[in-house]
Amino acid sequence: MFKKKLIHFSCKKIWNGIFLTNNALLQVNKIIKKYSTINGIRLILKKTGCFGFKYKIEPIKKPFKDDLIFQNNNIYIYIKKVDIIFIDGTKIDFIQKNFKEYFKYYNSKIIKSCGCGESFNIKN
């Protein structure tokens, strides 16, 4: 069970939303502040790896026409409509361990992950 306090990013549509820990929110803020021309991040489900998919976060200047917008205060997370059925409800944490920093995703729709944890398979 996930025990950290979560910050809810909601959408005006029927979706459950995206949930960030405080560490993840602080890191997203750092990404946004690093670039003066962006207003949010895009959470992407990318086809790759030995199990099929991996998450990717990138800063964006403006949303695509088919993006859903998830918001908490003045922070925006954009997700493509085609990806939302696989991403909806995902919990995101930011881990700092030794010399390694990374976003960690918790998604109940993931059915298998590869040995290194980089890619995964999703039930649809």
Q: Which residue has the higher pLDDT, 52 or 88?
A: 88
Place of tokens 């930011």: 94
Q: What confidence tier does 113 reach under pLDDT thresholds 50, 70, 90?
A: low
Of the options 2.60.120.10, 3.40.50.2000, 3.30.70.270, 2.60.300.12, the CATH number for the domain spanning 7-122: 2.60.300.12
3-state DSSP call for residue 25? helix
> How do beta strands 40-48 and 7-9 pair?
unpaired
What region does 49 belong to: left with phi over 0, alpha with psi -120 to 50, or beta? left
pLDDT at site 47: 77
pLDDT digits (tens, 9 = 90+) for 37-85: 888 999 998 877 666 778 899 999 888 899 999 999 889 999 999 989 8
Question: In Å, how far from its chain's centre is CA 50?
Answer: 20
5, pLDDT greater than 80: yes
